[in-house]
Amino acid sequence: MVGVFPEHRPRRLRGTAAIRRLVSETTLRPRQLILPMFVAEGADAPKPIASMPGVVQHSRDSLRKAAVEAVRAGVGGLMLFGVPRTHDAVGSGATDPDGVLNVALRDLRAELGDDTVLMADTCLDEFTDHGHCGVLDSRGGVDNDATLQRYAEMAVAQAEAGAHLLGPSGMMDGQVGVIRKALDGAGYAETGILAYSAKYASAFYGPFREAVDSQLNGDRKTYQQDPGNAREALREIELDVAEGADIVMVKPALSYLDVVSAAAQASPVPVAAYNISGEYAMVEAAAANGWVDRERTVLEVLTSISRAGADLILTYWAAEATAWLD
């Protein structure tokens, strides 16, 4: 016997499930989970997204049903993405009141009222024929200020269609300020902004590009952040807060938990993190092969994002995780 050693025994607090529960620091709440959903123009049935098993491009009808179910299950909000049938250089479908995303927002607001928080992606990439998040200049670069004008129009159309929170995700300079001004000017002072403030040029968006039938050739490195940079994330957050963001977001989540943590410490407004398509696909692929336990892995992923400091989490597992947490 070695006598009094070890002096410290952290294992005492791990000995039973009851004591582990007692000292658990991080509790996931269903209400902090937001479900991203896709709706395809003209679809008459939900269409599976191969790289995101379990996630579909909804039809107008199936979206309505799935949204009601998710809200009943207890998710905190819904984030909508539109998949239009046609694309053009300026993304006309984004501002058309009859465009797929605006129609879906109107449907869901009518169906759900204020029972949930209805959010919309405020970005042109789903609607442009070149797949970039903005309009292009004569040399093929993304024209920041011309794009802002389109975002302002898109924001007003989405507010008019019933979105509670708009999610500008294009990483144009000044986008939050321009959208805030446009909303206020059009009588939508109550419509909020969930700003994708620190959004990285990530390889993990791969499956999303399939989910929205992306037309993109190339990458978004002239507007999305370099994965190696942390400092500029804090600058982007500071700017967005100054421009009127109600909530700021870090995206992706898992490879950027240090940024989530720094944002949580620096931000005077709630911080969201987006557990994106590639993070979803990675776990689903491993689970499908029997290499990880699906439910445990998903809950560990979400718990980690919460532990890092995210108040809200956008995740394709939102509805399912909500059921598990019950």
By CB under 6 A, name the binding residues for ligand PBG. 121, 123, 125, 133, 169, 205, 208, 220, 276-277
Is residue 167 left, alpha or beta, with left meaning phi > 0 and alpha meaning psi from -120 to 50? beta
Using alpha carbons, select from 246, 122, 97, 130 the residue that is nearest to residue 172: 122
Taking the complex as a whole, the smallest distance from the CB of residue 14 to ligand PBG amounts, in Å, to: 35
Catalytic entry in 47, 65, 181, 199: 199
Question: Smallest distance, Å, CB 62 to ligand PBG?
Answer: 19
Instruction: State yes or no: is 221 an active-site residue.
Output: no
DSSP 27: -
Q: Which is nearer to ligand PBG, 125 or 236 (CB)?
A: 125
**How far apart are the C-alpha atoms of 103 and 39, rounded to whole Å?**
10
Closest contact distance (angstroms) between CB of 8 and ligand PBG is: 43
- Any binding-site annotation on 256? no
Comparison of 116 and 277: residue with beta carbon closer to ligand PBG: 277
CB nearer to ligand PBG: give 82 or 111: 82
296 marked as binding residue: no
Residue 14 counted as an annotated binding residue: no
Q: Which residues contact 189 (CB under 8 A, 6 or more apart)?
A: 183
Q: How many angstroms separate the CA atoms of 315 and 30, rounded?
A: 11
The reply to whether 294 sits in an annotated binding site is no
Is 316 labelled as part of a ligand binding site?
Answer: yes
Task: Give me the residue label for tokens 């070695």.
Answer: 2
Angle between helices 100-112 and 144-161 (to 10 degrees): 30
Residue 285: both structure tokens together: 């692929």
Q: What is the DSSP code (8-state) at residue 6? A: -
CB of 250 to ligand PBG, least distance (A): 13
Secondary structure letter of residue 10 according to DSSP: G
Whether 47 is catalytic = no
* Residues recognised as catalytic: 199, 251
What residues form the annotated binding site?
Answer: 209, 220, 236, 277, 316
What residues form the annotated binding site for 5-aminolevulinate?
Answer: 209, 220, 277, 316
